[in-house]
Structures are given as C-alpha cells and as structure tokens.
Amino acid sequence: MSNEDMWKAYSRGMAAVMNEGGVHVSALLLRSYRQLNLSDTEAMLLLQLMLFGESEGIEFPTMEQLAERTGSTTRTIEQTIGRLMKEGFLTIDERIDPVTGIQSEQYNWSGWLLKAAEWAAEEKRETRRAERRTVKRATDPGNIFSVFEQEFGRLLSPMECETISGWLDQDRYADELIRFALKEAVFAGKLNFRYIDRILIEWGRNRVTNVDEARAHSQKFRGPRG
C-alpha cells in the first residue's frame, strides 16, 4: 500500500469511528471546523442535524424545526444548507422502506466527517515532516536551516522553516542563492525574512540563477565592498 493510500484509509477509518454510536461530538470536529472554513452557524447547524437524526430519530427535520432549534430564520437555514451541500459537507440521501415501499429523505453529514478526518491526517503528516526537518537540522549543522539559525542567533519558528522550504521546493531557488541572499541581508543590516524574500524576488525577475550573477547584479547598485 502506498503512503497516499495509507493516509486515505486512515481518513476513512477515522470518519467511520466518528459516525458510530449516538450523538458523540468528536473533539476533532470542534478543533477543525474553522480550519475547514465552516462558520459557527454552519457547524452548529450540522451538529443539530446530527442531534435530530441520531438522538431524536428525525432524519429529515423541516426548515421550521431547524430554525426554531438554532434561532435562525428559515431563509438563513435554506441558504446555509445550500452552501454546506455545495461544499460537500452535507448531502440529502433518498431511501425506500423495504417493507412499505415508502420513499423518504435523510440528511447525510458524512462529508463533514471525512473532511475533518482528512484535515487531521494532513496535520499529522505535516507534523511528521516538521519532525524530520528538525532531526535533519540537529544532525547536519551545515544545512540551510542551521545556517539561518546561526545568523539569527535563535531557533527558527515553524512558519520561518516553511518559508525556507517554499523557497527551495516551490520557488526553486538554489540553496546557494538563498544563502547568499541571507548574506546580503546581513550586510545591509536588514536581517528579516521579508527583506530576504524581496532580494530573491528581485533576482528572479532579473533571471539571476547563481551567486556570481547575484553578486554582479548587486554591485550594479553599489560599489565593490573593498
């Protein structure tokens, strides 16, 4: 099984566990809903749908019931449900009673559970990546993260580590070019990530790809250092 398949299986397993039993609000749902761009109103509506369905046996509550329970208008409920369905947090399933043949509808919030589980899996994966980067910095004093820490005189924050990783992995700046940009910032007395980023962007615009080109570009705006 590939790593990607493993994480997908982990996500589905977590979603299944959260959907078992009575009205159980997983801490993960409460911890992740803002990260999933759900508002407080939307999250509460989803929780009320869970309560109606699992505790009260009302699988398809009316707009009036939901409005009364949440203190919203029926129009607001309709708009909120529409948005949740559009974003994949909620669906409406149709089912037919095998005995009576009567067709009915029910709300299905498993999309929310799966999205929360996928977020948790990605968070765990990012944590492991950060741990590996930390181990690498500890075992390799010459790597770029350690060089930055030496110049800044402190440990880098997670966001600063992500910035350096972005320069390397997304922007594709050469390791040596980033190190030289750091030296330029030190020389200019502006030791901060925003200034270093501006240096790299300026070099990128001028198709500077190595240290020699960067040094020549810099000397156009100032004389030799002596």
Give the contacts of 161 (CB within 8 A, at least 6 positions apart). Answer: 130, 133, 145
How many of the other CB atoms lie within 10 Å of CB of 65?
16
Per-residue pLDDT of 151-209, as tens digits, reads: 999 998 888 989 998 999 888 899 999 999 999 999 989 999 999 999 999 998 888 88
Whether the predicted pLDDT of 6 surpasses 70: no
Alpha carbon distance 50, 24 (integer Å): 9
Whether the predicted pLDDT of 115 surpasses 60: yes
Q: Which residue has the tokens 């407080």?
A: 40
The arithmetic mean of pLDDT across residues 112-136, rounded, is: 83
Give the contacts of 19 (CB within 8 A, at least 6 positions apart). Answer: 110, 113
Whether the predicted pLDDT of 225 surpasses 50: no
Of residues 82 and 214, which shows the higher confidence score? 82
Nearest in space to 83 (alpha carbons), one of 54, 45, 26, 29: 45
- Tokens standing for residue 166: 């972005």
Alpha carbon distance 169, 43 (integer Å): 35
The arithmetic mean of pLDDT across residues 30-50, rounded, is: 94
Measure the CA dihedral 189/172/121/123, to 10°. Answer: 10
Give the contacts of 211 (CB within 8 A, at least 6 positions apart). Answer: 176, 177, 180
Whether the predicted pLDDT of 123 surpasses 70: yes
Q: How confident is the model at residue 226 (pLDDT cuts 50, 70, 90)?
A: very low
Nearest in space to 193 (alpha carbons), one of 201, 185, 202: 185
Domains of the chain: 3-117 (1.10.10.10), 140-219 (1.10.10.630)
Q: Are 11 and 3 in contact (CB under 8 A)?
A: no
The arithmetic mean of pLDDT across residues 73-88, rounded, is: 96
Alpha carbon distance 177, 212 (integer Å): 9
Alpha carbon distance 163, 148 (integer Å): 12
pTM over 0.75: no
Output the DSSP codes for 188-202. Answer: HT--SHHHHHHHHHH
